[in-house]
Amino acid sequence: MKLKNIFRVFLTAAFILGTMAMNAQTKVYVYKADGTNDEYNVADIDSISFTPPATEQTGNLLVNPGFENSPDGQTSDGLSDPWVVVPEDWFTSYYSGYTMPFATSYVTGNIASAASNNGAGAFFTGNGAPIADLLIGDYCARLSLSSTSGIYQVVAATPGDYKVSVRIAFATTNTNQVIQDNNTVKVLSPDGATLYGEVSIPNDDQKVKTEHGFTGAGVFISPMAVTGTVTVPAGVTQVRFQLDQRDYTAAPAGPGRAALMLFDECEFSRIEN
């Protein structure tokens, strides 16, 4: 028998004999890195297990972030799990006193077709040409014009900083529809009651029109890539990634009707320090 095997047999026998010598009052001490220790009686210990630290998720935590895994067509129930339509009562609860009509969000099946912006012209031609490189694939999420609506997805998260990113295109078909000043990408508690952080969606409607030479009446497209950072607070294990917008009474009585809002390539990813 090799010397190494003899040594292993000796150590095993020593461990077994030492264990048999313990009685119920034998103490076990666990010494911690901070210099403190915990004390246990052998009789109180049922088992000992060693669990490695949980592996943090990396990359985009959203499922189906580009809405490619979606049903064909343009229907009110076109969203695929885990994306969920924001219910009407969330708007009246979160925005105290808000009462404008609610509309269901949906996914459109062909973002290059005329149907993508309510029959007012194809998004990738004419005034829609600036978003040809913004929306990717065959699908995107849509919030109807002149309506209050939104969608969200709940994901697992740990405390820390996260990147929030969305590609967005607004379409206005007349002077009554505007990009609202208060639109944001929100990170909320799963029930939608508590705001952990938000990223503002710029209101550069007129700036985009000027840059692309849009004049007169018709469809005007405002493309943008929205990016920012939010911090998930201590104790949180899940968050709700949400996009929504509110509709208002047309000017001059109110701020204006909501523009059509398309968004694609959503991202919620942890920033490693």
Residue-averaged pLDDT of the chain: 74
pLDDT interval class at 25 (50, 70, 90): low
pLDDT value at residue 139: 75
Sign of CA pseudo-dihedral 172, 206, 181, 242: positive
Residue-range domains of the chain with CATH: 3-44 (no CATH), 84-270 (2.60.120)
pLDDT of 128 above 50: yes
Question: What is the distance between the alpha carbons of residues 158 and 236, in angstroms, rounded to a whole number?
Answer: 6
pLDDT at 117: 40
pLDDT tens by residue, 53-105: 445 567 999 999 988 776 554 545 556 778 888 988 999 899 988 888 777 66
User: Which tens digits make up the pLDDT trace of 183-235?
Assistant: 899 999 999 999 999 999 887 655 555 454 555 445 556 667 789 999 999 99
**171/175 Cα distance (integer angstroms):** 11
Assign 242 a pLDDT band (cuts: 50, 70, 90). very high
pLDDT score, position 132:
63
Question: Is-cis flag, bond preceding 101, omega within 30?
Answer: no
Instruction: Give the residue-averaged pLDDT of 123-150.
Output: 72
* Tokens (6 digits) for 216: 């007169």
Residue 3 has pLDDT above 90, yes or no: no
pLDDT band at 118 (very low <50, low <70, confident <90, very high): very low
Retrieve residue 181's tokens.
């000043």
Nearest to 203 by CA among 164, 259, 134, 145: 259
pLDDT, one tens digit per residue, over 144-186 is 778 888 999 999 999 999 999 998 877 776 667 777 778 899 9
Note the pLDDT of residue 125.
Answer: 60
Q: Considering only 18-27, 60-69, 74-83, 253-262, which range has the smallest mean pLDDT?
A: 18-27
In this predicted structure, what is the pLDDT of residue 198?
A: 97
| Total count of residues recorded for the chain | 273
Winning range, highest mean pLDDT, from 5-14, 18-27, 102-111, 219-228: 219-228
